[in-house]
Amino acid sequence: MPDREQIRLHALKNAYQHGGKADPKAVLSKVLAESPDLRKSAKDLLPVVNEVVEEVNSLGAAEIEEILRKEHPEALIAEKKEQRHGLPDLPGVTGKVVMRMAPSPSGPLHVGHSRMAILNDEYVRKYGGELILRIEDTNPKNIDPSAYQQIPRDLAWLGVQFTSVVVQSDRMELYYDEARRLIRNGGMYVCSCGVQEFKEKRQKGIACPHRSLSARENEERFQEMLDGGFREGEAVAVVKTDLAHPNPSVRDWIAFRIIEREHPRQGRKYRVYPMMNFSVAVDDHHLGLTHVIRGKDHLNNTEKQKYIFRYNDWPLPVYFHYGLIHIPNTVLKTSTIKKGIADGSYSGWDDVRLGTILALRKRGYVPATFRRYWIESGLRESDAEFSWDIFNAMNKDSIDAATPRGFFVPDPVMLKVEGLPECDVTIPNHPTNKSLGTRKYRMSASRGVYVDASDLAQVPDGKAFRLKDFCNVVKRGHRLEFAGFELREKGIRIVQWAPEPAIDLTVHMPDGRRITGKAEQALGSVDGTVQLERFGYARVLGIEGQAFFLHR
C-alpha cells in the first residue's frame, strides 16, 4: 500500500491543475503508474484514494496552491514547465540590439537586480549585439567605492556577458556639452529661486521667472554654476516641459544640481552633477541603445527622458516596462544594510541574512537558478511576488544530483550501542550518484554515537529505531541496545546520527539563528555545498566548523 502522503500529493497536484477539484480515477492512475506492483490491489486502493480526494476537494483552489507552495514547490515548477513559452520577442528588432544594465554603485547587487541583468542578457544572446554595463554614479552622496569592482564580479558570477563598461562620472564633459546645447535651443534654463520655491511653483503650474531668460543668459548662469558662482542648493538647471502636464513630476524637471561633496572616483574635479533622467537620456542616445527594458516604476522617468530626445530630434529606443516584483522577508535596502554593517548588526555585504548576490552565493545558490527563475517568470507587465519556495526548489533541482550527503546532529546526545560487534560501516555519499563515492567508519560497542535529543525523546522506551545506513537499536532508558543490521521492520523510525569523535559545527540560518551541533568527521575537510540529511542543504566550511544554511 502506498504512503497516504503520496496519494495526497497526487490529489493536490491534480486538483491544482483542474481548478481545485481532483479526479479520483486520475489520481489512482498516477499512483499506479508510480507503483506498478499495486495494480493487482487497485480495488482495495480505490477507497483510500476516494477518501483522500474528498479531503483535498474540500479545500479551496487558493489553499491547495498555498499547500503545494509550502510543502511541494517542485510540483508548481512542473506546472510552470508545461506553461512556459519563454521570453516574448522584442518589438522593432531589425538586426543586432544594443541594451544596457544601469545599476547605481551604492552597494553590491541583490537578488532583485539579477532580474534586470538576466533579462537583458537573454535578449542580447537571442538577437546578438551589445550589452553595456553602465554604472550610474552621478550622486557622490550615495556611492560605495567597492561597488565599482563588485558589481562586475556579481554579474560575471551570474553568467551575464556584458560587452563594455561605462561609468557615468567619466562622461561629465559630455553631459555639460549637451546641457549647453539644450540651453541654446531653448530647452533648459537655470533657476535660482531655491528648491522649495521652485517645487511649489511647479506644483501650481506657475513658471519660474528665470524660465523666460534668454538662452545667452541661461548659458552664462550654467557656467556660473560650474565655476562656483552658486553654492549648493542655490541654483539648479531645469528642462522645460509642459507646466500644464497632468503629472506634476513631469513638469519642468531638475536636470543638474550642485553637490559640493568629494566624489569617490572623481575627487573634487566636478561640483555640478546631472540628475538621473538627464544623464540616462544622453547616454541612451550616444551609446546607441535600441531597446530599454526596466521596471514600470520608471514610467515617469521614461516620460521625462523623452523630452531630451524630442528636443534633439534623436530616435527613441523601444521601451518596455515590466511589472514590479515584491521580494518578501528579504533585506535588500542598501541604506539599511550599510547602517547594519556600520553598527555591527551585519557582518558584511555577504551576511547570510541579506538578499545580496554575495550572501546568496555564500549560502550555496548557483547562477543557473537565477536565470531559470527569471526566464520562467517571464516579462509581464503585472506586478508579482517573488517565491522563495519555488526559487529554492529550482536550486535544489540544479544541485541535488551532484551534492554529497553528510550527517549533522543539531542537539546532540552521546550514547553507546551495547552489544554492537566491531564492524565497518560504509555510507554512500549520495543515494543514486555512485560517482560521489562512500565514507567508512570503524564502529564498535566502545565507540559512541551522537543522536538528536528530540529524535530520542520521540522513541518510546523499549522501542526499536534505526541509525540511518547503519544498524537497528532498541532504546533502553539512556542506553541503546544493538538489534541487528538488516532493515526488516517496515515503518521503523530512522534517526540521524554521527560517530564519535565528531566535529563541532555551527550552522548560520538566514533568520539570524545559529544552530550548533555535531557533524561527522568527514565534513571536516569539506568546502562546498552538502545536504545535511534531514536538516537541509548548506554551504559547509568544515575546517572552520561553520556552515551557512541554504534551503530544505
pLDDT in tens, 469-516: 999 999 999 899 999 999 877 789 999 999 999 999 999 999 999 999
Cell of 62: 487558493
Cell of 491: 515503518
User: What average pLDDT does this structure show over 514-525?
Assistant: 97
81 part of a folded domain: no
262 part of a folded domain: no
Q: Is the pLDDT of residue 16 over 90?
A: no
Give dist(CA 522, CA 528) in Å, integer: 13
Place of cell 542655490: 234
Q: At what angle do helices 4-17 and 24-34 cross, to 10 degrees?
A: 130
The answer to whether residues 237 and 255 touch, using CB atoms and an 8 Å cutoff, is yes
User: What average pLDDT does this structure show over 421-433?
Assistant: 96
- Let me know whether 422 and 371 are in one domain: no
Give dist(CA 304, CA 319) in Å, integer: 13
* pLDDT averaged over every residue in the chain: 94
Whole-prediction pTM: 0.85
CATH number of the domain that residue 460 is part of: 2.40.240.10
Query: What pLDDT score does 375 carry?
Result: 95
H or E segment to which residue 119 belongs: helix 111-127
H or E segment to which residue 381 belongs: none
335 part of a folded domain: yes
Beta strands in 296-337 (DSSP E): 318-322, 325-326
- Cα torsion 71, 77, 83, 85: sign: positive
- Let me know whether 108 and 150 are in one domain: yes
Q: Using the 8-state DSSP alphabet, how is residue 331 labeled? A: B
- Let me know whether 105 and 155 are in one domain: yes
Classify each residue of 280-307 as buried b or exposed e, where b means 16 or more C-beta atoms within 10 Å of its C-beta: bbbbbbebebbbbbbeeebeebbbbbbb
Q: What confidence category does residue 4 fall into, taking pLDDT thresholds of 50, 70 and 90?
A: confident
Query: What pLDDT score does 25 carry?
Result: 86
32 part of a folded domain: yes
The answer to whether residues 94 and 337 touch, using CB atoms and an 8 Å cutoff, is no
Cell of 324: 514590479
User: What average pLDDT does this structure show over 184-203?
Assistant: 95
341 part of a folded domain: yes
- Let me know whether 418 and 478 are in one domain: yes
465 part of a folded domain: yes
Q: Is the pLDDT of residue 272 over 80?
A: yes
Give dist(CA 402, CA 529) in Å, integer: 9
Place of cell 508548481: 76
CATH number of the domain that residue 104 is part of: 3.40.50.620
Convert the pLDDT of each residue in 361-417 to its tens digit. 999 999 999 999 999 998 888 999 999 999 999 999 999 999 999 999 999 999 999
Domains identified in the chain, total number: 3
- Let me know whether 104 and 163 are in one domain: yes
- Let me know whether 493 and 419 are in one domain: yes
User: What average pLDDT does this structure show over 208-215?
Assistant: 96
304 part of a folded domain: no
Query: What pLDDT score does 54 carry?
Result: 86
Owning domain of residue 466: 413-426+443-497
Give dist(CA 320, CA 293) in Å, integer: 5
- Let me know whether 349 and 384 are in one domain: yes
- Let me know whether 421 and 392 are in one domain: no
Query: What pLDDT score does 487 carry?
Result: 82
Q: What confidence category does residue 85 fall into, taking pLDDT thresholds of 50, 70 and 90?
A: very low
Longest CA pairwise span in the chain (Å)? 101
Name the residue among 195, 235, 190 with its Cα closest to residue 217. 190
pLDDT winner (highest mean) among 189-203, 264-278, 489-503: 264-278
Give dist(CA 193, CA 117) in Å, integer: 40
Query: What pLDDT score does 277 carry?
Result: 98
The answer to whether residues 521 and 499 touch, using CB atoms and an 8 Å cutoff, is yes
Give dist(CA 134, CA 169) in Å, integer: 10
- Let me know whether 341 and 372 are in one domain: yes
Q: How far is CA 45 from the centre of its chain?
A: 43
Higher-pLDDT residue of 495 and 6 is: 495
Q: What confidence category does residue 79 fall into, taking pLDDT thresholds of 50, 70 and 90?
A: low
Residue type, position 420, single letter: L
Rg value, the chain, Cα:
31
Query: What pLDDT score does 49 carry?
Result: 87
Q: Is the pLDDT of residue 163 over 90?
A: yes
307 part of a folded domain: no
- Let me know whether 66 and 103 are in one domain: no
Q: What is the torsion angle, in degrees rounded to the nearest 10, for the CA atoms of residue 415, residue 438, residue 516 and residue 510?
A: -150
- Let me know whether 393 and 421 are in one domain: no
Convert the pLDDT of each residue in 23-57 to its tens digit. 888 888 888 887 777 777 777 788 888 888 888 88
- Let me know whether 59 and 128 are in one domain: no
Q: How far is CA 32 from the centre of its chain?
A: 38
